[in-house]
Amino acid sequence: MPLSPLLSDALASLRATRAVLAAYDPEDAQQRQLLAETMSRRLEKAGFRLLPRRGGQEDVYVFDHLKAPGFQVKVYTSIQGGRVRSKDADAIRVCLVYADEASRKGGEGRTIGISSECRVVRRGEIEAIVERTLERARDAYRRVSETERCRACGAPMATSKAGKLYCAERCWLR
């Protein structure tokens, strides 16, 4: 007799629960897929949106700051084609960026890194990896309030390659 659909659903979800609680194995294609699915679902539930995919690149999710226009938390998931990449070396990366006004209006603007990147190593349980990623995202979100602002226009100050602070809206050019 076939299992009732309800029971087989319950079994499937139990199996999935056990899988997310087991140590993540990058050699296992199924686990790479499960980590990708768990990660995407949790990010979307938390209000992140997937940026349009660009030819073969990893999935990138962003969260627009609710009160500070232009600030975005960005998660480079290492998900490619529905699975996280197999190489242990490439981590998930989380950072805080600022999209300037021009780019927000769809023009030729720039997105500037505000905080340095945080790396999340894909080790341990799938559930724990996803939780750590969200934790880093919350850290990045909180960093908005600590960001130095331009005295002239109030935009965040970004750091140049030479280590100098400059206004992210380049208001001195206006």
CB of 170 to Zn ion, least distance (A): 7
Q: Give the one residue of 153, 157, 159, 166 binding Zn ion; rule: CB under 5 A.
A: 153
Q: Which residues pair with 60 in a beta bridge?
A: 76
Tell me if 157 contacts Zn ion by CB under 5 A: no
Strands annotated E in the chain: 49-50, 60-64, 71-76, 79-80, 83-84, 92-99, 111-113, 118-120, 157-159, 165-167
Number of H helices, E strands in the chain: 4, 10
CA angle in degrees (0–180, nearest 5) for 115-73-38: 125
| Residue 21 host element (H or E) | helix 5-21
Q: Give the one residue of 14, 102, 121, 152 binding Zn ion; rule: CB under 5 A.
A: 152
Tell me if 155 contacts Zn ion by CB under 5 A: yes
Write the binding mask 24 to 63 for Zn ion: x where contact by CB under 5 A, - elsewhere. ----------------------------------------
Tell me if 150 contacts Zn ion by CB under 5 A: yes
Taking CB under 5 A as the binding criterion, the range among 11-19, 35-43, 112-120, 152-160 that sits at the site for Zn ion is: 152-160
Tell me if 112 contacts Zn ion by CB under 5 A: no
